[in-house]
Chains A and B, each alone.
Chain A
Amino acid sequence: AQSVSQHNHHVILSEAASLELGCNYSYGGTVNLFWYVQYPGQHLQLLLKYFSGDPLVKGIKGFEAEFIKSKFSFNLRKPSVQWSDTAEYFCAVNAWGSGNTGKLIFGQGTTLQVKP
């Protein structure tokens, strides 16, 4: 069965600090990878996604992620965080074929708190 693991449950940073959130997944086939952000009281918004091609993907608001197939990882990065980045971040994967129908499997989430 697919699973997603996020290493950091709660991260506290000062503004302008660099961010890296870890995400590892478990699945033997081809997967699509996503990072979603959930601002307080709001719905999930797509930050970025990886389907194929260049393993370094860029998303909105200066976020990027790198897919490392050999490590089953898809870590999220941002060089300089802002107070407005305070939110919950979810890594998610889905798969197609072999009985998979595209449902998203989410990691446990990482709460990012950025201090002004």
Chain B
Amino acid sequence: AAGVIQSPRHLIKEKRETATLKCYPIPRHDTVYWYQQGPGQDPQFLISFYEKMQSDKGSIPDRFSAQQFSDYHSELNMSSLELGDSALYFCASSPTERGQETQYFGPGTRLLVL
């Protein structure tokens, strides 16, 4: 079965650089969630999209922005990177049924900021 695809899998950036993370949801999934997992921590919700519109926003810095495109893939744009942004960034997708959705996670993008 098709899974959530994230690219790149690994990314190394310098401080103050920008990064773009991509997420391709499972086919026919219209909802995408982004989570950040710092070293030894639990995943923290960043932002979500439903039908290409932002549906919820969590603890996402103003330096980050995201969008969902017409083909339902999503991109997380990160600017002015800081050392503390080093983390594993997960994308999850879920299908249309509202209220009883299971989120399926991608393999994550491991970002290292030097």
Contacts and interface: CB of A to CB of B under 8 A. Distances in A.
B106 to A, nearest CB: 6
A27 interface: no
Contacts of B107: 42-43
Given A101-B50, A101-B56, A103-B56, A49 B45 contact: no
Is the interface on chain A under 10, 10 to 19, 20 to 34, or 35 or more residues? 20 to 34
A44 B94 CA distance: 14
A43 B45 contact: no
A36 B42 CA distance: 11
Given A102-B94, A103-B48, A44 B102 contact: no
A102 B104 contact: no
Contact of A96 (B33, B41, B58, B99): B99
Contacts of B35: 104
A49 B104 CA distance: 12
Nearest to A46: B102
B104 to A, nearest CB: 7
Interface residues of B, number: 27
A103 B33 contact: yes
A5 to B, nearest CB: 11
Contact of A105 (B45, B90, B101): B45
Contact of A46 (B45, B99, B104): B104
10 contacts: A43-B107, A44-B43, A44-B105, A51-B100, A90-B42, A96-B99, A101-B56, A104-B35, A106-B44, A109-B41
Interface of B: 31, 33, 35, 41-45, 48, 50, 55-56, 58, 90, 92, 94, 98-108
Interface of A: 32, 34, 36, 42-46, 49, 51-52, 90, 94, 96-97, 101-109
